[in-house]
Every structure is written in structure tokens, then in C-alpha cells.
Amino acid sequence: MSEVLAVSELTVSFPSEAGPVRAVRGMSYSVSSGEVLGIVGESGSGKSVSALAVMGLLPRTARVGGSVRFHGRELLGLGDRELSAVRGKGISMVFQDPLSALTPVYTVGDQIAEAVSIHTDVSKNEAARRAVELLELVGIPEPAIRARAFPHEFSGGMRQRVMIAMAMANDPDVIIADEPTTALDVTIQAQILEVLGTAQEATGAAIVMITHDLGVVAGFADRVMVMYAGRPVEAGGVDDLFYRPRMPYTLGLLGSLPRLDATEREPLTPLEGSPPSLVGLPSGCPFVPRCPMRIDVCSDTEPPLAPTADPRHTAACHRRTEIEARELGPADIFPAPLVGAAAVARLPRESRQPVLEVRDLERHYPLMKGVVFRRQVGTVRAVDGVSFDIREGETLGLVGESGCGKTTTIVQILTLARPTAGTVVVLGRDSARLDRGERRALRRNLSVVFQDPLASLDPRLPVGDILSEGLRTHGVPKQRRNRRVGELLRLVGLGPEHASRYPQDFSGGQRQRIAIARALALEPRLVVLDEPVSALDVSIRAGVINLLEELRARLGLAYLFVAHDLSVVRHIADRVAVMYLGRIIESGAVSAVFDTPAHPYTEALLSAIPIPDPRRERARRRVLLEGDLPSPFDIPSGCRFRARCPRYAALPGGLGARCREEEPVRLPQGADHDAACHYPPAPAAI
Amino acid sequence: MARFLLRRLLNYAVLVALATTLGYFLAGTTLHPRSNYEGRNPPLSAASINRQLDDLNLNDHTPIAKRFGRWLGGVVHGDFGKTVTGDSVTAEMGRRIGVSLRLLVIGSFLGGLLGVGVGVLGAVRQYHFSDHASAVLSFVILSTPVFLVAVLLKLAALNLNQLTGVQLLDYTGEYTPGLSGGGAHLVLDRVRHLILPTLSIVLGQIAFYSRYQRNAMLDVLGSDFLRTAQAKGLRRNHALIKHGLRTALIPMATFFAYNFGLLVTGATFTEKIFGWHGMGEWFVDSVTTNDVNAVVTVTLFVAVLVLIAGMLSDLAYAALDPRVRIR
């Protein structure tokens, strides 16, 4: 193994009105061919900036210092001409969002061929042929035809494959992958990681994998580096880092992750506070304000990255030897909060009142064509027969890939509009039989928290007005409104003095707390949580999740928790419903569905979720799904999952006919567990 | 694709017919050719006026729909009626159309090209001196009426000619009447006459396009795909043109169609001020002489020009952006 890329003491700063933003403050690493280095950090930790600095792709205002050596040759300070010769040939890059990373006006074949012909003197035809070869290598079906398609004709996962094909076009020595799977669904993420592995085998390149997801790194990387506030705070072999973390931040991150393999529901250990601003950083350790182990020296001097007992494992903490000696784990350092259960939740499920009952809900949209003479050419069956119910004090997790109809379902519930077919019953009242006034009164009992708090809070309203808007709409007098705003802010862990400030003055986690407070203003019975933590940084997720659990216990709320992250659902939900193409294909108690999934789709979803545990992750056998979610415009006959189903593919001849012809219905698989599959696995022997 | 263009053509044709009809009704009811004959000395008899007006299809005693029908019948056969002096509108148009098209075509294409260039430079060198300068200049030009620009240009040319002592630039007519000499000499003379009027049109066009192009380009400059192109190993400038400009040109295709109407209006002033006997000048003159047929013919001409500009912009859009191509 030879060292191909060596970065040492890399610094990057951007000028700003408030002073220089020190995005990277001294980062050193090296990678050898065939090796995978994972760089983990939250947004603003400097991980992506450092990658762009290596490529020389930062905006011209950026000041870059230190050294980047590729095969011993210094790259920093090289001109555009010399760097261009290295980019794409020696070092190539895969970016996060494959939709915007491909030029919309050229075919994907042309764009890959361009990558080839920039660096090698080949004819146009040869370059095009190589592009088709590469597309085939990354698993694009019918590559010769698809090469002539434009990026907008590809799905997200397919586009990311194209990006990878482009990155491996010239047999690079280093591939830098910057959050390559963040914008993708879990099943697609699993496919893409597989393709990246293929790319590495084919090129023998070193991979620098940048991500915020510790789970992705666990199974994929050989070595891991954790970044915080522009500096690496811990680095080492993947096993060392996951099983023997020595820096409190790493410990906190690991403890704050909801785990898919958790057996008992324990509160997550939250990392209080949020990452510091990179302008005018104080002299001490940047993690001090959030660190329960801080001592006086921490505020004065920033600890360097220094070796622990194992010299290859380094940590930047003044107390690393102490942590090592006492074998401290996340729970020892970060006190876990106590979360009780609501009185109502202790009753058996059958004796609790249903808050929401959805029966055979359908929402179809006509697909129209023509401008003058509009005619219907088809139907988009966004929601196609969904049934579930939620009882008092209960959390139902609704999971599925993007495009499966989750959002349409919750919009249908929240608006209380008349569905195409089926019924939505809220607190015993059928939404289709309400007049305007009744519908409005009933809406008080429903509220919603959206994914992105920055987008869902009006930036021009002070927090107090945001919280009292709903109260005013429902005619609450002014004095009571003001009192309620203070109550709400305290309820979500903020203070009444925050009421006069604007959303921009808060961090991401605090904004989501405000959004939660707004949802609680009218004392609803059911709160719909639409991906409430997926836009938040990893370290603040745990705090919000704990808050949600605490509120449920205190206020006896019921949650409809919509998410694509199954680990979070496993942590917070009591029951779970898995959606696929407008239908629920499996549902039941969380433990039943997660431990003994009966539907092959659930099985695949679960196996696609990375677990932040390197040994288990390496030992796992993945059920990889073929292809993408079909269009809800063109739903396959019989079982709608058939085309991607590994179980169907393995069926002996003759048995498959049933899957092709007959649509399966949900049948009981055990106590509080049902699944819609013709061939569920035999129940485990008891 | 062909079906799509055919449908667009049909849409535009309906619009042209509508514009011409409205133009005829407007001109036919507001212009008053009879006044050309009244108050003459010696006075003409009413019957004689009616006879002459009937002959020109301009008699306001005939219902307007009937007059329109007659005119339309002629148009179908390529006859656009007669001017108030009894000459053929078609022949007059033949003389003038080339003069106008020379200004309009050169003006719009040169203005478009230079405007895109200035806009791209402004975006790439954002906040540099050249960007600020082009921004200020553009806004000054955009907020100055065309006739003022034209007069200022004339003044500038006058001063330049006096300063150099040579007749470098000409600013009346499209050529020097009665000029003798070889072909090259004649061409040079025409070019000298062409420069100022073209400039008066092109300046406004550059100002207009450069602002939009700068914005479109700035959007693209921060885009991920430009970064991808460089990550593949394309040099910065190459990537800027091949991936950046190519994408940023798409919205310009739409502006081209919208802007053309504006351009024709501006050209009317230009022709009038520089003494070019083109369609715009004719339009203004016809209104003052109550020449209904000529006014409507110019309206039709402009409508057809807008149709062509619209078709060109549709074609350009489809050529530039694969996402709108319909198969």
C-alpha cells in the first residue's frame, strides 16, 4: 500500500463582515490506495470545505493554507491548468445532490464521455463507447440506450450512479465522495454504497468518504476521522473509534444515535447545545460549552490531536487518558434524562380511545393532457387504500421511500377534506360529513410539525406571534394568548424571553422546538410529525427526540410519526406501518415488525439501514432491492412489490402466478402484526 | 416536435390576424382621410370626394366591415390597397421593407450577442469595476428614451466629425444621394450611414440583454454542475462556457421574443430621426396623412415580425433545453 494523498495542517478561511470564518483549522490525514477513510462531522464542521480545498474548487475568496500532496506533489498553489490535469484523472469527486450536480442540457453519455476525453486522447466514438461501458459497470440497465437520456430522465439513485461512473472514468487514485447518499432513500443508499465498492474494486482507488452518518461509515470505512468546528477531534481505526471512543464529542454522537438494533427503549443521551460559530472562536476547546467533562484547562487551551494508548488512535481531549483508564461510555458522561410514560399509555391498547381512524383511504389524481382539449390520460394513485388507527397516547410510525404516498396521506388527514374513497375519522367524527364550522373546530385537535423548521417558520414574524397565530385564529383572547406563549416556550425548553426574537436568531434544534411549541398551542390530541428530525444535525436530533417523548408522556399526546429513518421510528414509535406505492404492506407493534418482518419489502428496508457498529455491520447480509420505486401512475398488476421482490424472484415455478394475478391483502402474522404477502415466512418456532 | 411547432405557428397566425383586424378597425374609425380633401381651394364637390375615397377604399360612408372585407380580399392576393395619394401600398412597402429589416435584423442580433457577452462578463467578474460600470451604463441607457439616445449620438457624431475634420459618420439617410464611384465605395458609404442608427438600437438591446444574462449567469455560477464539470478536469473558463453559459442561455430565448416588440417601437424613432425611409417612418407619416391602408399594412408587418421572433425563440428554446422537447 502506498500513500497517494497526504493532507497536512490544512486551513481554510473565508472573509466575512464579522471577521474571517475559519472553516478548517488544521486538518491532517493521508490515504493509501485501496483504503477507505471516513470523515464524519455535522454541517459546518469543515468536512466538505476541506474536500473542495483538496480539489482546488473553493471560491476564489477562500484562503487555503497547509499542504496537500498527491503522490508527493504539492497541489496547493498550483494554477488552474495544472490542477485541471489532476482533477478527474488523479483525484475525482462524487457530490451530494446528483440532481443539481449534472448539467441538465447534455445527455449523461456525453457528460461521462467528456470526462474521458478531457484526459485521454480518444476519438469521439471511443469515448462514447467507454461511457456506455462505465454505465454498465455501475449497474444502469440498457446502458447504450440510457446513455442518450438526459439527467432529468433519471431517478436520484440512477443519477448518483452516473456521478460515480464519471468519477471512475479515468481510473483515479483517489475518489472523494462528499455525502454521496444523503439525498437518497435508504434502499437506494444501500445500492449506491455497493456501487462505490464496485468502483473501488475496479479502480483500486483510495476513497475519502465524507458523511454525517456514523452508520454509513461503520460498514464502509477502514479508518475514521471525526470533525468538530473545523478540526479533527478524534481519528483511528473504525473499530477503535466505535468501540473505544476517547473524545467526549464522539462519545456523545454515538450515544445520541437511535439504534435499529436496540432491544429496549432507553432515552437517548442528548448532546446539549449546538456547534459553535466559526467566526471569532474562543481560544479553548470548541466543545467546552457542550462537554460535561470540562475542566478549567479546557477553556484556556485547545487540546491537540494526541495519541491514546494505541498510537494510531488519536483524540483531542485533555482528559483522554482518564476516559481511557476508566473506560467511560456515552451513558457515563452524558446524563440520560428520565422519560416517563403517560398514565393513559399504561392502559391496554383495546381500552384506549382511538384518536384517528383511517379506513381504505384513497386519493387519486387525474393525469391530464392537452391544452385546449384537456383529456384524462390516466390516474395517479397516490394513496390507494390505506387503513390504520391511532389510539390515545400512542405513536404510529409511518415509513416508506419518497414517493410512496406518505405525504399525501397526512395532507388528507390534516385538511380533513373529502377523500376520493374511504374515510378519515378524527375523534369519532367522519371528515366527509362535516360542515365548514365543524371542520374548523375539529382541526384544533390536529397539528403538524414539518421537516425543515427554517422553511416552516415565517422569518418575518417574532416567535411570540408565530406561536399565538393559531390561538388568534380560534378566538383566544389576547391576555390568555400571551400567557400561553410563555407556557409553550417553557414546555419545549426555551424561555418566555425568547418570544420577541425572530426564527433566524435560533439554532436548528431550537427552531424545531419552536415549531413543536406552535403545534402544541391549541392543545391538540394528535400531532403529525413529518420527518421532524431528518433536517437536523446528528448531535441535536437526540435532544428533539427526547423532547417529543417527554411531551407525549406529559400531555398524553398521540403521534403520527412520518419518517424514512427506521432507526428513529424504532426508537420512538409503539406501532409502525410500512407504506409501498400508496398502500400499507405491513403494520403492527414495533418489536414484531422490526424483529420478525413478514413482508420482503420491510425486510429489505431494515437490512438497508446502516448500524453504527462496525463488526455487526460487516457481518450483515444485505437484501438489496433492484431498481427504483415504480410510478404511481403505472402500478403493476397483482402484488405491487413484485418487480423488485427478491422472494418472488426465488419462488419455484408456478407459485409466482399468484403474485402476478392477485393483489395480497394484509393478513395477521401474530399478535398485533399483519402483512400483505402471499408467501410470508413461516412463523418462528416458539 | 414538428407538431408542437405547427401548433405554435397556428397560434401565432391567429394572433397576427387578430392584431391586423383590430388595427384596421382602430385606424379605420379614428383616422379621417376625408379631411385630406375637405377645405381645399377650390373646394371639391362631395360627390367627387366620395368618388376619390371610394376609389381608395377609404370612404367613411361605407361601413367599416365592408371596407375591411375589400382590403382583406386584396391582401389575400398580395395587394395591400392604395395610399392616400393613390400609389400602391405594396410597391411602397417593397421599397421600405429592406431598409427597416437591415436595421432590425442587425440591431437585434448584434444587440443580443453583445448583450449576452457583456452580461456574462459582468457575472464572471461580479463586483469588479467592469461589472459596476456596465450596470450603471445599462440603467442609464434603459431609462433614456430612444429618441434622446439618437439625438445624443447625432451630436456626438457631429463633434467627432468636426474634431477630425473628416466626415467619418453620417447621420441623415441611408446613403449619400448621387454618389458616384465603384462598388466598394458605395458599400462603405452605406456602412457609414448604418453605424449611428444601428448603434442607437443596439445600445438599448445590449443594456436589456446584459442585465438578464448577468442574472441568469450568476444563478448558474453557483451551481453544482459547474463544480462537477471542473471536478472532471475541465479548465475553469472552458467549463464556464460549455456548461455555464450553455445553460444560462435558456431563459434568453424567451426574452428574445418579448423584447422584439420593444425593439420595433424603438426603431420607429430611429428611422424618423436619422431620416431612414423605412417602415417605422412610414407608419408615423401615414398616421399624420390619415393613410389607413398604409397604417394597417405596417401593423401587419410588425405582427408578422413578432410572429417570426416568437417562432425563432421557440425553436431556440427547444434547441437549448432538452427538458422541453416533446417527442
Kindly identify which residue of chain B lies nearest to residue A111, measuring between CA atoms. B229
pLDDT digits (tens, 9 = 90+) for A430-460: 988 888 889 888 999 999 999 888 888 999 9
Element (H, E) at B293: helix B292-320
Question: Are A61 and A176 part of one and the same domain?
Answer: yes
Residue B7 has pLDDT above 90, yes or no: no
* Cβ-defined contact of B232 to A88 (cutoff 8 Å): yes
Q: Mutate which of A99, A103, A111, A174 to test chain B, going by most B C-beta atoms within 10 A?
A: A103
Measured torsion, CA atoms of residues B177, B178, B182, B184, in degrees rounded to the nearest 10: -10
pLDDT band at B213 (very low <50, low <70, confident <90, very high): very high
pLDDT digits (tens, 9 = 90+) for B270-310: 898 888 899 999 999 999 999 999 999 999 999 998 888 88
* Cβ-defined contact of B227 to A163 (cutoff 8 Å): no
- SS3 category, A449: strand
Residue A358 lies in a domain: yes
Residue A576 lies in a domain: no
pTM: 0.84
Residue B161 lies in a domain: yes
Alpha-carbon distance B60 to nearest alpha carbon in chain A (angstroms): 39
Element (H, E) at A560: strand A558-563
DSSP calls for A510-527: HHHHHHHHHHHTT--SEE
pLDDT of A560:
95
Nearest to B232 among A81, A97, A115 (CB): A115
Alpha-carbon distance B65 to nearest alpha carbon in chain A (angstroms): 30
Which of A227, A262, A294 marks a domain boundary? A227
| In chain A, % of residues over pLDDT 90 | 49
Residue B257 lies in a domain: yes
Alpha-carbon distance A108 to nearest alpha carbon in chain B (angstroms): 12
CA quadruple A317, A318, A319, A325: dihedral sign: positive
Q: Mutate which of B3, B221, B225, B250 to test chain A, going by most A C-beta atoms within 10 A?
A: B225
Average pLDDT of A382-396?
Answer: 91
CA dist., res. A51 & res. A38, Å (int): 12
Question: Are B122 and B66 part of one and the same domain?
Answer: no
Q: Would you tell me which residues 72-91 of chain B have a C-beta closer than 8 angstroms to some C-beta of chain A?
A: none
Lowest pLDDT segment from A301-315, A626-640, B118-132: A626-640
CA dist., res. B80 & res. B56, Å (int): 11
Question: Are A537 and A412 part of one and the same domain?
Answer: yes
CA dist., res. B266 & res. B167, Å (int): 26
| Grid cell 383529456 in the structure block, residue | A375
Average pLDDT of A87-105?
Answer: 90
Mean pLDDT (chain B) is 88
* Cβ-defined contact of B233 to A89 (cutoff 8 Å): yes
Alpha-carbon distance B242 to nearest alpha carbon in chain A (angstroms): 10
CA dist., res. B60 & res. B57, Å (int): 9
Alpha-carbon distance A374 to nearest alpha carbon in chain B (angstroms): 15
Kindly identify which residue of chain A lies nearest to residue B322, measuring between CA atoms. A105
Question: Are B194 and B221 part of one and the same domain?
Answer: yes
* Cβ-defined contact of B224 to A119 (cutoff 8 Å): no
pLDDT digits (tens, 9 = 90+) for B169-203: 777 877 878 777 777 888 888 888 888 999 999 99
Question: Are B15 and B109 part of one and the same domain?
Answer: no
Element (H, E) at B281: helix B279-288
Q: Which residues of B touch A101 (CB under 8 A)?
A: 224-225, 227-228
Residue B315 lies in a domain: yes
Q: Three cell numbers at B325?
A: 422537447
Nearest to A104 among B227, B232, B323 (CB): B323
| Grid cell 390515545 in the structure block, residue | A392
Nearest to B224 among A95, A107, A119 (CB): A95
Average pLDDT of B88-110?
Answer: 90
Residue B82 lies in a domain: no
pLDDT band at B326 (very low <50, low <70, confident <90, very high): low
Residue A685 has pLDDT above 60, yes or no: no
Kindly identify which residue of chain B lies nearest to residue A79, measuring between CA atoms. B235
Q: Is the ipTM of this complex over 0.85?
A: no
Q: Do the Cβ atoms of B205 and B111 come closer than 8 Å?
A: yes
DSSP calls for B45-90: PHHHHHHHHHHHT--TTS-HHHHHHHHHHHHHTT---B-TTS-BHH
Find the farthest-apart pair of alpha carbons in chain A and give their distance in angstroms, rounded.
Answer: 78
**Which residue did the predictor score with more confidence, B5 or A220?**
A220
Question: Are A25 and A124 part of one and the same domain?
Answer: yes
* Cβ-defined contact of A95 to B235 (cutoff 8 Å): no
H helix runs in A139-178, sequence order: 143-146, 156-167
Question: Are B124 and B240 part of one and the same domain?
Answer: yes
pLDDT digits (tens, 9 = 90+) for A24-81: 999 999 999 999 999 998 888 889 999 999 999 998 889 999 999 999 999 999 999 9
Question: Are A497 and A529 part of one and the same domain?
Answer: yes
Range of the structural domain that residue B297 is part of? 90-320
pLDDT of A686:
39
pLDDT digits (tens, 9 = 90+) for B19-50: 999 999 999 999 988 888 887 778 888 888 88
Residue A599 lies in a domain: yes
Count the neighbouring beta carbons within 10 Å of the beta carbon of residue A479.
8
In DSSP terms, A363 is beta-bridged to: A383
What are the contacts of A459-463 at 24+ separation with CB within 8 A? A459/A502, A459/A503, A459/A504, A460/A502, A461/A502, A461/A503, A462/A499, A462/A500, A462/A501, A462/A502, A463/A489, A463/A498, A463/A499, A463/A500, A463/A501, A463/A502, A463/A503, A463/A506, A463/A514
Number of domains in chain B: 2
* Cβ-defined contact of B233 to A57 (cutoff 8 Å): no
Number of domains in chain A: 3
Question: Are A514 and A553 part of one and the same domain?
Answer: yes
Q: Do the Cβ atoms of A554 and A546 come closer than 8 Å?
A: no
Question: How far, in Å, are A58, A146, A149, A163 from residue A142 at the CA level?
Answer: 37, 6, 11, 17
CA dist., res. B269 & res. B279, Å (int): 11
- B243 CB near a chain A CB, below 8 Å? yes
Residue B81 lies in a domain: no
Kindly identify which residue of chain B lies nearest to residue A114, measuring between CA atoms. B232
Q: What's the angle, vertex CA A600, arms to CA A596 and CA A604, rounded to 5?
A: 90
Which of B22, B53, B76 marks a domain boundary? B76
Average pLDDT of B253-262?
Answer: 80
C-alpha count within 13 angstroms, C-beta hemisphere, residue B41? 0
* Cβ-defined contact of A114 to B234 (cutoff 8 Å): yes
Question: Which CATH number is A91's domain given?
Answer: 3.40.50.300
Q: A630 preceded by cis ω (within 30°)? A: no
Which of B76, B108, B140 marks a domain boundary? B76
Residue A665 carries which side chain, given as an amino acid letter?
Answer: V
Which of A177, A207, A227 marks a domain boundary? A227
pLDDT band at A541 (very low <50, low <70, confident <90, very high): confident
| In chain B, % of residues over pLDDT 70 | 99
Which of A171, A194, A227 marks a domain boundary? A227
- B233 CB near a chain A CB, below 8 Å? yes
Q: Do the Cβ atoms of A225 and A232 come closer than 8 Å?
A: yes
Question: Are B262 and B181 part of one and the same domain?
Answer: yes
A contact set with B (CB within 8 A): 52, 55, 57, 80-81, 84-89, 92-93, 95, 97, 100-107, 114-115, 118-119, 150, 152, 163, 166, 169-170
Alpha-carbon distance B138 to nearest alpha carbon in chain A (angstroms): 27
Q: Do the Cβ atoms of A366 and A423 come closer than 8 Å?
A: no
* Cβ-defined contact of B323 to A152 (cutoff 8 Å): yes
pLDDT digits (tens, 9 = 90+) for A224-270: 999 999 999 999 999 999 999 999 999 988 888 888 877 666 778 88
Alpha-carbon distance B263 to nearest alpha carbon in chain A (angstroms): 30
* Cβ-defined contact of B228 to A102 (cutoff 8 Å): yes
Question: Are A554 and A585 part of one and the same domain?
Answer: no
Alpha-carbon distance B290 to nearest alpha carbon in chain A (angstroms): 40
Q: Mutate which of A48, A87, A105, A179 to test chain B, going by most B C-beta atoms within 10 A?
A: A105
pLDDT band at A624 (very low <50, low <70, confident <90, very high): confident
Question: Are A598 and A553 part of one and the same domain?
Answer: no
Question: Are B39 and B160 part of one and the same domain?
Answer: no
Average pLDDT of A146-153?
Answer: 91
Question: Are A183 and A43 part of one and the same domain?
Answer: yes
**Which residue did the predictor score with more confidence, A684 or A428?**
A428
CA dist., res. A625 & res. A187, Å (int): 7
Element (H, E) at A7: strand A3-14
Question: Are B144 and B69 part of one and the same domain?
Answer: no
Question: Are A545 and A586 part of one and the same domain?
Answer: no
Range of the structural domain that residue A649 is part of? 581-686
Q: Which residues of B touch A115 (CB under 8 A)?
A: 232-233
Kindly identify which residue of chain A lies nearest to residue B8, measuring between CA atoms. A371
Q: Which residues of B touch A178 (CB under 8 A)?
A: none
Residue count of chain B: 327
* Cβ-defined contact of B234 to A85 (cutoff 8 Å): no
pLDDT band at A673 (very low <50, low <70, confident <90, very high): very high
pLDDT of A264:
66
Question: Are B100 and B61 part of one and the same domain?
Answer: no
Lowest pLDDT segment from A143-147, A522-526, B194-198, B262-266: B262-266
CA dist., res. B170 & res. A283, Å (int): 72
Which of B15, B47, B76 marks a domain boundary? B76
Question: Are A686 and A592 part of one and the same domain?
Answer: yes
Residue A286 lies in a domain: no
Residue B285 lies in a domain: yes
SS3 content of chain A, % helix, strand, coil (to 5): 35, 20, 40
* Cβ-defined contact of A57 to B230 (cutoff 8 Å): yes
Residue B326 lies in a domain: no
pLDDT of A278:
84
pLDDT digits (tens, 9 = 90+) for A462-508: 999 999 999 999 989 999 999 999 999 999 989 888 999 999 888 88
Residue B125 lies in a domain: yes
Alpha-carbon distance A185 to nearest alpha carbon in chain B (angstroms): 21
H helix runs in A416-537, sequence order: 436-443, 453-456, 463-473, 478-491, 508-520
Nearest to A87 among B231, B250, B323 (CB): B231
Question: Are B71 and B98 part of one and the same domain?
Answer: no
Question: Are B191 and B112 part of one and the same domain?
Answer: yes
Q: Mutate which of B128, B224, B225, B232 to test chain A, going by most A C-beta atoms within 10 A?
A: B232
CA dist., res. B210 & res. B325, Å (int): 27
Question: Are B111 and B165 part of one and the same domain?
Answer: yes
Residue A686 lies in a domain: yes
Mean pLDDT (chain A) is 89
* Cβ-defined contact of A92 to B232 (cutoff 8 Å): yes
Question: Are A531 and A652 part of one and the same domain?
Answer: no
- B321 CB near a chain A CB, below 8 Å? yes
Question: Are A43 and A192 part of one and the same domain?
Answer: yes
Kindly identify which residue of chain B lies nearest to residue A84, measuring between CA atoms. B233
Question: Which CATH number is B142's domain given?
Answer: 1.10.3720.10
Question: Are B268 and B150 part of one and the same domain?
Answer: yes
Q: Three cell numbers at B171?
A: 447621420
pLDDT of A566:
87
